[in-house]
Structure 1
Amino acid sequence: MTESNDAQALLRAVVGLRDCLDEATFPLPVPGADPARRGRVELLNQLDDYVIPRLRDLDAPLLAVVGGSTGAGKSTLVNSVVGASVSRSGVLRPTTRACVLVHHPADAHWFSTARILPTLNRVTGAEGDDPRSVRLVTSDALPSGLALLDAPDIDSVVSANRDLARQLLSAADLWIFVTTAARYADAVPWDLLRQSVERGTSVAVVLDRVPPGAEDEIGEHLAAMLVAEGLRHAPVFTITESQLGPDGMLPAAQVAPLRDWLTRLGEDARARSLLVRRTLAGALESLDARVADLAEASFDQVQATEQLGAIVTSAYGNALDEVSTGMSDGRLLRGEVLARWQEFVGTGEFLKQVEAGFGRLRDRVVAAVRGQPAPAEQLGQALQSGVATLLVAHAEGAALEVARRWRSVPGAEPILAGGQESGRVATAGAGSEAGATARVAGTRSVSDQPAGSTGPLGIPGVGVSSPDLGERAERLVREWQDDILQLVRAEGKDRRTTARVLSMGVNAVGVVLMLVVFSHTMGTLGGAEVGIAGGSAVLAQRLLEAIFGDQAVRTLAAKARRQLLARTEELYAQEADRLRALIEAAGVRAGQPRELTEAATQLRAGR
């Protein structure tokens, strides 16, 4: 591969990384998210402002950014170097608001377009205060091939100025750091100097306003600090405290060493190329660790969403287990269901009646069904309401558990806030029958929720179920009752069984089968309830065995149970999906860490 092809491959890899960064997001406030957001913006700025344009035009003029602390004398220095008042200076702070870029007239085409600093507007003429613009000034005092950019203060009281200053420093081939004898050890500039080392930016230092006679002492101390921070080879230019001329500029002799150095740099294509390539190589090498940090921060985002999703899965999985337990522990044979069953078959010593034979018992049931349809209908309604209430109660419990556990997950706040308008509690979902059964069974009915109520901690939508959950639960139970009738019809194929089913009634057999499904054990019942409900369960079991046989009854009950659990699982999956949609709406992409890592790998291969 030729050098040109190598450069093109490297450029494609950098553009690919840039596109990946442009799509990257860190929406959840997990630990490290704020630095990641800032790091992403800084990376994008450096790629757009410096790396990509420099890779495309290695021979473009060298850009030296003059930066430093408030009042260090940056603008005065720039004016003195070019011998003209091109940048506003004075005692008011901040002085430099919009940045000023000074270049040779022959280099105008390099800077008049958005080749570099594409987010800044180009202006000419009078000075402005817009921090999102760059004012272009031509000067024959600078050699072709070198431009000076006077940047805002790195510690400006105006945040927009601070941000712009840091952005401009990332766009520099060379940072001319201006400080004073009184402030050369300040923390803020040294943080940026360390950053320049990490990112490979070439640095020159101007030590301004040094008291006469203190040059050696201060210079030695500054030199030691530069060595300690990895800037051993950074040239240092010292300017002693001097009276400014009538034009507000430094004496020519004071700025001559810096002006001469810059002139030689601009006129020496080889030296300029070496500096540009060194800064560019450092910038490219710094991308590995910076992208790795973003990939790690992105992985933390993904982990947070996975944890939130696992909580949803666990909560509704536990709810389904509780429904399964509630179907077999006898709780549905309490209260109203038990009373309706007694009305259905009559009170008394029904175990003795069972022992006396199926015929007499069947006659009693048939008489109840045919002669008194209301008790049978009421029993079915009570069972339907009881089951619906059981489903809704555990769904609401799962929603509450999700809200409680989400509150403890770092970064979940936007997702919790995303549920603000996602739902309200249904107000009469399961109806009065469900409410009565729930209160007897010790569970909470949908109808017990006040209209317009919110979730825990004042968070609507998270911590409460869907508004139509009660309605959907009742529809589920009705559809399951249809399933049971289909099972009864399918089981009664032979003539004898069919006759027995018809003699008792398909609906009555279906109701009795529901009772069998819910009466395997009665661990939650106590006292007199055990005897009554237990006898009811045995009676229901004996009735069906007399029709179908004991093995067939076990098979029918198992099928009916599986069908109800399958429908419940689907219902709970819909509730869980509503919460997962809130997680997805946060915008965390599971593939983002891999994409960032792969983009960095491609860049390494291209270097």
Structure 2
Amino acid sequence: MTATTPPISSLEETETPPSLAEPGLSARLDVLDRLVALGDGRVDRTLMDDAADLLARAGERLRLSGDHTVVALAGGTGSGKSSLFNAVCGLELSPTGMRRPMTSSAHACVWGLEGAGPLLDWLDIDSRHRYARASALDGEGQVGSLQGLVLLDLPDHDSVRAAHLAEVDKYVKVADLIIWVLDPQKYADFAVHRRYFEQLSGHTGVTLIVLNQVDRLEPEEVTECVKDLRRLLEAEGMDGPTILTTSAKSGAGVEGFREVLADAVAARQARLERLVADIDRLVRRFEDQYGATEPPSTVDDRRTAALVEALADAAGVPAVAESMESAYSLRALDYVGWPVGRLIARLHSDPLRRMRLGELRAELRAAFTTPVNAQQAHVDNALQEVTEGVVSDLPPSWQRSVRDAGRSKADELPEALGDSLRSVVPGFNQIPAWWWVVRAWQYLLIAASALGVIWLFAILGYGVLKLADAPLDIIGDPSVAAYVGLLLVCTLGLGAFTGSAARNMIALSSVRHSERLEERMREGITTSAQTLVIAPVERELAVYKSFREEVGTAISALM
């Protein structure tokens, strides 16, 4: 034996280049990275955090020394793990004893210094508890066979100190190979089986069980303990666990244990196998996020139409169209109504009509110059209805995600609906061309009627009353009065007929005008619905489809 090797405060800090993981690990890391990207903010937060942590840990471990294998010795108080640690190291590096706790911090013994410094820093091993095992006096066979080993002695998992338990959890999570040291009295301890062994399904290749202190048992008792321990482990999901028997006190089995460690170190696969096992176990947790039914990729036309109808109702499109029809009619009558009738209407003023037109104008101006005051309850119901049909077969977390996508632009809807209405409604000063034609024709008839009246008065003055000599015979001839009167009646009748026909045209055109405006308003609302509701929902469905395909591919690879 050599003299005790002093602790090394910090091994060399030269970082080794990243190792290239085997294709299986690379593919798994790529799939997990895509799952995290697709599921972030959508899938269970704890699962996403665990996946992100695993990706970070895998990246860090692969960048560190691939020539070293981190092996953690874990066990309970009195199991003899520190004694086994010292036996493998060949030195009394870790304190031993039966009192609780004995090992208060993780100790590390390293075989092979090159590249180990950054790895130990990443493991956060206190510099006082780092040891190098590389003396030529140890014998080439043993030292060479363990070259590349980083052996950790962890605190007791059943320590009364919570900090020790947290440290065990930390190293059990990051070690390349985990070795559980059990003793014959407490190998069936509920705490270790429930907290750790039940979580080791799929990790059999990177987990080793050591039944220590077999010197206390008879040979047949050792066999029975190993058999019972194997039964417990297999019942907890560990398929074909490797179980070794040792006695750190007598040295029995220690050399075989060293050989197992030497084989693991020489293979240099434990690091990759541990990461593969961790990823495979994590991927299985995604099964709850994988729906068995192929999801829809679009919102069907029926639901889209129902959404547009609901938004149109919430924005008051039918009421606006009706108001526009009334406003069109009132304004048209002001332009193309028979002037004689309008004159009579002014003599018999109708304040309700004027008030109605004024109110309509004020109401429409307000509607088209401010955001639509859509009824929020109707909008919420519409947004819920459009997603209900497409989320029924999705996992709960994705149902929430799709619903949230449908509501993601809800705050922008009122302004968008207002824009949809404002963009299609004509201004109040816009007058159709036919109104001008009818109005010109009516004033022409008024002029003709006025000329007839003047003619009749001229005949009365020159032809009947003989007030003066008529400048023209046609003005002074009383016999012409009948024809002039007939002309006057015809022009007035034609004007009244024109006014009546114009009112009929107004009734028809106001309806068509209202229908065109309503159709265009609905087209604008359809565009807003597609942009602010349907498109986000369909994008989310596309994300879920990609996520589902990735999960399906990953799970199929595990079968």
Q: Which TM bucket (shorter chain)? A: 0.5 to 0.7
Q: Counterparts of 1:573-584 in structure 2 under 5 Å?
A: none
Q: 2:114 aligns with which of 91, 109, 115?
A: 109
Q: How far 1:562 sits from its partner (Å)?
A: 1.9
Q: Is the 8 A contact 1:202 1:278 kept in 2?
A: yes
Change (3 A) 1:77 1:592: farther
Change (3 A) 1:124 1:67: same
Q: After superposition, give the CA deviation of every residue in 1:181-236 in whole Å (9 maximum; x if it has no partner).
A: 34322345335445445134243323346655554543442244345555546132
One-letter code aligned to 2:209 = V
Task: Supply the distance in 2 between the matched residues of 1:67 and 1:313 (Cα, whole angstroms).
Answer: 64
Task: Supply the distance in 2 between the matched residues of 1:599 and 1:174 (Cα, whole angstroms).
Answer: 28
Gaps of 5+ in 2: 1-19, 446-498
1:257 corresponds in structure 2 to: 252
Q: How far 1:82 sits from its partner (Å)?
A: 2.6
1:565 corresponds in structure 2 to: 522
TM-score under structure 1 length normalisation: 0.55
Q: After superposition, give the CA deviation of every residue in 1:428-462 in whole Å (9 maximum; x if it has no partner).
A: xxxxxxxxxxxxxxxxxxxxxxxxxxxxxxxxx99
Gaps of 5+ in 1: 1-5, 128-134, 240-249, 347-353, 420-460, 504-541
Q: After superposition, give the CA deviation of every residue in 1:536-583 in whole Å (9 maximum; x if it has no partner).
A: xxxxxx989537466544432221222333455566778759x969x9
| Partner SS for 1:27 | coil
Q: 1:482 aligns with which of 416, 420, 426?
A: 426
Q: How far 1:398 sits from its partner (Å)?
A: 1.4
1:398 aligns with 2:352: no
Q: 2:75 aligns with which of 65, 68, 71?
A: 68
1:237 aligns with 2:245: yes
Task: Supply the distance in 1 between the matched residues of 2:426 and 2:114 (Cα, whole angstroms).
Answer: 80
Q: Is the 8 A contact 2:108 2:151 kept in 1?
A: yes
Q: Is the 8 A contact 1:323 1:391 kept in 2?
A: yes
Q: Is the 8 A contact 1:402 1:463 kept in 2?
A: no
| Partner SS for 1:392 | coil
Q: How far 1:382 sits from its partner (Å)?
A: 3.7
Q: Percent identity?
A: 16
Q: Counterparts of 1:78-93 in structure 2 under 5 Å?
A: 78-88=85-95
Task: Supply the distance in 1 between the matched residues of 2:421 and 2:441 (Cα, whole angstroms).
Answer: 27
1:27 aligns with 2:41: yes
2:211 corresponds in structure 1 to: 207
Task: Supply the distance in 2 between the matched residues of 1:475 and 1:277 (Cα, whole angstroms).
Answer: 64
Task: Supply the distance in 1 between the matched residues of 2:398 and 2:217 (Cα, whole angstroms).
Answer: 60
| Partner SS for 2:187 | coil
| Partner SS for 1:108 | coil
Q: Is the 8 A contact 1:102 1:138 kept in 2?
A: yes
Q: Is the 8 A contact 2:208 2:242 kept in 1?
A: yes
Task: Supply the distance in 2 between the matched residues of 1:111 and 1:19 (Cα, whole angstroms).
Answer: 28
| Partner SS for 2:113 | helix
| Partner SS for 1:147 | strand
1:41 aligns with 2:41: no
| Partner SS for 2:521 | helix
Task: Supply the distance in 2 between the matched residues of 1:68 and 1:238 (Cα, whole angstroms).
Answer: 14
| Partner SS for 1:112 | helix
Q: How far 1:147 sits from its partner (Å)?
A: 3.3
Q: After superposition, give the CA deviation of every residue in 1:26-82 in whole Å (9 maximum; x if it has no partner).
A: 434x6x55345435534653x3466x469x84xx34433212345644334323443
Q: How far 1:260 sits from its partner (Å)?
A: 1.0
Task: Supply the distance in 2 between the matched residues of 1:226 and 1:596 (Cα, whole angstroms).
Answer: 32
Task: Supply the distance in 2 between the matched residues of 1:558 and 1:80 (Cα, whole angstroms).
Answer: 93
Task: Supply the distance in 2 between the matched residues of 1:546 and 1:217 (Cα, whole angstroms).
Answer: 107
Q: 1:555 aligns with which of 512, 519, 535?
A: 512
Task: Supply the distance in 2 between the matched residues of 1:559 and 1:218 (Cα, whole angstroms).
Answer: 88
Q: Counterparts of 1:453-472 in structure 2 under 5 Å?
A: 469=414
Q: Is the 8 A contact 1:497 1:547 kept in 2?
A: no
Q: 2:181 aligns with which of 174, 178, 181?
A: 178
One-letter code aligned to 1:102 = C
Task: Supply the distance in 2 between the matched residues of 1:501 and 1:563 (Cα, whole angstroms).
Answer: 35
Task: Supply the distance in 1 between the matched residues of 2:418 and 2:25 (Cα, whole angstroms).
Answer: 62
Q: Is the 8 A contact 2:201 2:238 kept in 1?
A: yes
Q: How far 1:257 sits from its partner (Å)?
A: 2.8
| Partner SS for 1:225 | helix
Q: How far 1:102 sits from its partner (Å)?
A: 0.9
1:506 corresponds in structure 2 to: none
1:245 corresponds in structure 2 to: none
Q: Is the 8 A contact 1:96 1:152 kept in 2?
A: yes
Task: Supply the distance in 2 between the matched residues of 1:91 and 1:365 (Cα, whole angstroms).
Answer: 113
Change (3 A) 1:546 1:227: closer
Change (3 A) 1:403 1:369: same
Task: Supply the distance in 2 between the matched residues of 1:501 and 1:558 (Cα, whole angstroms).
Answer: 31
Task: Supply the distance in 2 between the matched residues of 1:388 and 1:159 (Cα, whole angstroms).
Answer: 66
1:99 corresponds in structure 2 to: 106
TM-score under structure 2 length normalisation: 0.58
1:422 corresponds in structure 2 to: none
Q: 2:283 aligns with which of 291, 295, 314?
A: 291
Q: How far 1:168 sits from its partner (Å)?
A: 3.5
Q: Is the 8 A contact 2:101 2:160 kept in 1?
A: yes
Q: Counterparts of 1:396-435 in structure 2 under 5 Å?
A: 397-399=378-380
Larger Rg belongs to: 2
Q: Is the 8 A contact 1:172 1:201 kept in 2?
A: no
Change (3 A) 1:495 1:483: same
Change (3 A) 1:481 1:599: closer
One-letter code aligned to 2:50 = R
Task: Supply the distance in 2 between the matched residues of 1:154 and 1:17 (Cα, whole angstroms).
Answer: 34
| Partner SS for 2:118 | coil
1:450 corresponds in structure 2 to: none
Q: After superposition, give the CA deviation of every residue in 1:134-189 in whole Å (9 maximum; x if it has no partner).
A: x4554656633233112345566777765654553455454221123343223453
Q: Is the 8 A contact 2:21 2:272 kept in 1?
A: no
One-letter code aligned to 2:179 = I
1:377 corresponds in structure 2 to: 358
RMSD (Å) for aligned C-alpha atoms: 6.2
1:593 aligns with 2:550: no
2:437 corresponds in structure 1 to: 495
Task: Supply the distance in 2 between the matched residues of 1:413 and 1:219 (Cα, whole angstroms).
Answer: 49
Deviation larger for 201-210 or 385-394? 385-394
Q: Counterparts of 1:326-341 in structure 2 under 5 Å?
A: 326-327=318-319
One-letter code aligned to 2:375 = H
1:189 corresponds in structure 2 to: 192
